[in-house]
Structure 1
């Protein structure tokens, strides 16, 4: 249906007149009413959603804030306990360091008293053993030989030495020196000479060459 009246010979209708005519028509009024209805429904839905969000926030946010405050308080307390524990650990390290220093100083003082009054033969024995250790090198010996297999007739060359015997004596010398040094810390020094002689007698001799 043409809602614009025909006007024979009339001037062209401007846009404003056309718009007013459309709005005042049944179709225009219905379109406006439908539009308003849609807008109202949209706004009603948005308002409902807003109310639901506000209600949900009102129910959840107090709990969340309370949980946050509790967690922050717990973290602060934990940090305080950690710092206190760090302080105690530092104090403990300082205490053991101080005690260790005092112990070492007292130990050195006590050892110094024992060393200064140790039997003089101990130092002589240690020096004697240094000379004995060095003398072992001058007793090294070796010999070359050969042997012929009676069946195959093949000749085999070989070398023998007393290196193992020398090493055994040198090892025993070092052990004897260490045992002699330990005697310096013993209260009773009257038995030292006899025990040093036992160490001398116990040193293994350097063996000769064995074929």
Structure 2
């Protein structure tokens, strides 16, 4: 297969220039080549001109934004420092409060009614005694009509759990009484709490 020569090839153009027709063809090709190169050169000049105008604006916009970012970073750093100071102050305040409250509670407990300590001790003893009251009973029943036997079960676990929960709440309430300045109402209050404790029925 014969390959056609590229009309833009300089050797081809030199070969056809020897005839009048070839010279006109070569001139047209040269003219088109010049037009194409001129278009490329004009486009190159245009992008150079456009970029020369636009680039300084882009640089200025970047620098302006970068300056704002640096300013915000400085503000953030300052804010973080202030936050760290506030966190330290909060921790110190909490520690001071906790220590002082513990001292005050201890002093109030020392001079509180001795009935409170006795009641709390009794509650702890009752917690252990109540735990031991847990019991379960199993038996078998027969249906008088069908004569079918059925296993039955009964437990006092709900009652045990209810009493133990009430005892824990009673301990907390009694300890809170130690923080009350006027201890004259303690005996009656403890009696009321004790009287309202739920009982446990053995099964």
Length-normalised TM-score, structure 1: 0.72
Equivalence map 1:72-151=2 (5 Å) = 72-151=66-145
Which stretch shifts more, 133-142 or 38-47?
A: 38-47
Give per-residue Cα distances to partners, 1:80-137, cap 9 Å, x unaligned: 2221221222222122122222222222222222122221121111111111222224
In structure 2, relative to structure 1, the CA distance for the partners of 1:199 and 1:46 (3 Å cut) is: closer
Q: Which runs of 5+ in 2 are unaligned?
A: 1-13
Cα RMSD over matched residues?
Answer: 3.0
Q: Does the 8 A contact of 2:156 with 2:200 survive in 1?
A: yes
1:41 deviates by: 5.6
Alignment of 1:29-108 (within 5 A): 44-45=38-39, 47-108=41-102
1:159 aligns with 2:144: no
Partner Cα separation in structure 2 for residue 48 and residue 90 of structure 1: 62
Number of equivalent positions: 185
Specify whether residues 27 and 110 from structure 1 end up closer, same or farther in structure 2 by C-alpha distance, changes over 3 A only. Answer: same
Shift of 1:146: 2.9
1:59-85: per-residue Cα shift (whole Å, max 9, x none)?
Answer: 212211221221221221121222122
SS of equivalent residue, structure 2 residue 152: strand
Change (3 A) 1:119 1:66: same
Larger Rg: 1
CA distance in 2, matches of 1:104, 1:81: 34
Pair 1:171-2:186 in alignment: no
> Would the aligned equivalents of 2:133 and 2:202 in 1 still touch at CA under 8 Å?
no
The alignment status of 1:207 with 2:170, answered yes or no, reads no
Q: Cα 1:163–1:78, aligned 2, differ >3 Å: closer, same or farther?
A: closer
**Distance (Å, rounded) in 1 between the aligned partners of 2:37 and 2:133:** 114
Distance 1:162 1:39, change over 3 A: closer
Q: Call closer, same or farther: CA 1:44–1:112 in 2, change over 3 Å.
A: same
Unmatched 5+ residue regions in structure 1? 1-21
User: In the superposition, relative to structure 1, how do residues 38 and 198 fare at CA in structure 2: closer, same or farther (>3 Å)?
Assistant: closer
